[in-house]
């Protein structure tokens, strides 16, 4: 596992050294130069990417479908008994974001944010989306603390390096984003990211 992080570190360092923009192209001459890539900036961009996808998907699901789960469809051969509802998918992403990224920032999170599904009292679409957005705000705060000097250090409450906590939050959210997309499509809703420009 450490070898993967070493390779990621090499890639990030190479980007920083050659001074290219995020896509590896030289800056056009008519644009202001962009800040040199840093581990904080690159991690923050990854968090922003999944944040946009997840928040837009959550906002696309109508309130009256927020408690949808594929179990209700009784799909022949499908085994969806006990799977999370759409609302719980969103709350799970947010609760996991808090659990992972608070380890980097040192923020104390409320006990009911723990346990995988977030606070039980959050019921409405607006409450759940606010919880989600606030969890990503913590992710941006966590990304801002990353440096090449501290990114491989473990935190006080985890045996994982800070960079792993930051990037695993992104990977975990993408996993659940894929499930949320399927839930939207099962309800005849095209995910915002798939819609034409």
> What is the mean pLDDT for each group of 10 consecutive residues in the chain (197 residues)?
45 40 52 80 96 97 95 82 92 95 90 84 96 97 93 84 93 96 95 83
Q: Quick one: pLDDT at residue 197?
A: 63
> Can you name the CATH fold of 38-194?
1.20.120
Q: Residue 28's pLDDT is what?
A: 56
Beta carbons of 61 and 67 less than 8 angstroms apart = no
Pairwise CA distance, residues 15 & 19, whole Å? 6
Q: What is the pLDDT of residue 184?
A: 96
| pTM more than 0.85 | no
| Residue-level pLDDT at 19 | 41
Q: Which residues on adjacent β-strands are paired with residue 154? A: 161
Domain ranges within the chain, ordered by starting residue:
1-36, 38-194
């Amino acid at each position: 596992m450490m070898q993967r992080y070493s390779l990621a570190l090499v890639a990030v360092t190479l980007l920083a050294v050659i001074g290219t923009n995020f896509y590896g192209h030289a800056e056009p001459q008519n644009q202001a130069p962009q800040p040199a890539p840093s581990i904080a900036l690159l991690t923050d961009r990854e968090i922003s990417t999944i944040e946009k996808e997840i928040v837009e998907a959550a906002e696309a699901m109508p309130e009256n479908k927020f408690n949808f789960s594929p179990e209700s469809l009784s799909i022949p051969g499908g085994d969806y008994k006990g799977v999370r509802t759409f609302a719980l998918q969103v709350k799970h992403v947010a609760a996991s974001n808090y659990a992972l990224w608070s380890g980097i920032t040192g923020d104390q999170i409320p006990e009911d944010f723990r346990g995988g599904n977030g606070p039980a009292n959050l019921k409405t679409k607006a409450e759940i989306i606010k919880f989600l957005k606030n969890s990503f705000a913590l992710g941006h705060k966590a990304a801002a603390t990353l440096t090449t000097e501290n990114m491989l250090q473990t935190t006080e409450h985890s045996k994982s390096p800070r960079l792993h906590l930051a990037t695993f939050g992104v990977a975990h959210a993408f996993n659940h984003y894929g499930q949320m997309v399927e839930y939207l499509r099962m309800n005849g809703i095209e995910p915002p990211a798939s819609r034409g420009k």
